[in-house]
Amino acid sequence: MVIKEAKFLMSNTRVDLCPAPTKPEYAFIGRSNVGKSSLINMLTNQSKLAKTSASPGKTQLINHFLINDDWYLVDLPGYGYAKVSKTSRESWRKMINFYFQERENLTCVFLLIDSRHEPLQPDLDFVNQLGTIGVPFVLVFTKTDKQSNTKTDSNIAAFVRKLKETWDELPRIFRTSATKKAGRDEILEFIQEVNLQ
Ligand code: GDP
């Protein structure tokens, strides 16, 4: 897919205030600092479309972008930032759950996982949450340029082993590096295929 246009539409905390659910929607989420903004900017070929928050975990907004006048890309607030209060963590959880359950045009969630780490509990918990709600999702292992392919492979394999403990069906897996622009074509092709279904 060629990205002809990517524009910011709105940020808000309420699902009922999101743009009319008339186009397929793809949401991006992960632990804070996983490389979400960098990935969104890489996908849309823009350097500053998604902004890194100056205070991670503080802005808990659902950010909508319109791509090619055809589909919505949504930047969701991340999880796992240590300095966030219990209250904001709880409001984040409520908002995200509500979004997953109510957003009728939500087509697929891209769950970003830092490929440098062995499986982390917050990520496993989040996958289980998505699976339980029944939201279609794929996994994106980010920052693959940061270590050898062997290390990336073994971290992904370890994550998959953990998933197999609970789930029969495994999600599709992508590997990306925003620095090297790797994984971009695969993700855009996937979105195009799903949009055509
Ligand atoms: P966010 O908080 O999930 O939106 O993460 P950012 O996109 O702001 O990235 C967090 C940090 O990781 C920044 O310093 C980025 O430059 C760096 N980063 C993000 N993606 C990559 C990547 O693919 N490779 C490398 N080497 N660094 C990355």
**pLDDT tens profile 116-167:** 999 999 999 999 999 999 999 999 999 999 999 999 999 999 999 999 999 9
**Tokens encoding 156:** 């992904």
- Residue in the block written with tokens 């219990």: 86
Q: What is the pTM of this model?
A: 0.96
| Ligand 1 atom with minimal separation from the 180 CA | 23
Cβ 63 under 6 angstroms from ligand 1 = no
Ligand 1 lined by 59 (C-beta under 6 Å): no
The residues near 49 (Cβ < 8 Å, ≥ 6 apart) are: 6, 8, 40, 41, 65
Burial zone of 100 (CB within 10 Å; 0-12 exposed, 13-18 middle, 19+ buried) = buried
Helical ranges in 25-177 per DSSP H: 36-44, 86-102, 121-133, 149-164
| Domains of the chain and any CATH numbers | 6-196 (3.40.50.300)
Distance 179 CA to ligand 1 centre (A): 8
What is the structure's pLDDT at 84?
A: 79
ipTM: 0.99
Distance CA 141, CA 161 (A): 15
Q: What is the CA radius of gyration of the chain?
A: 16
Backbone angles phi, psi at 137, to 5 degrees: -150, 160
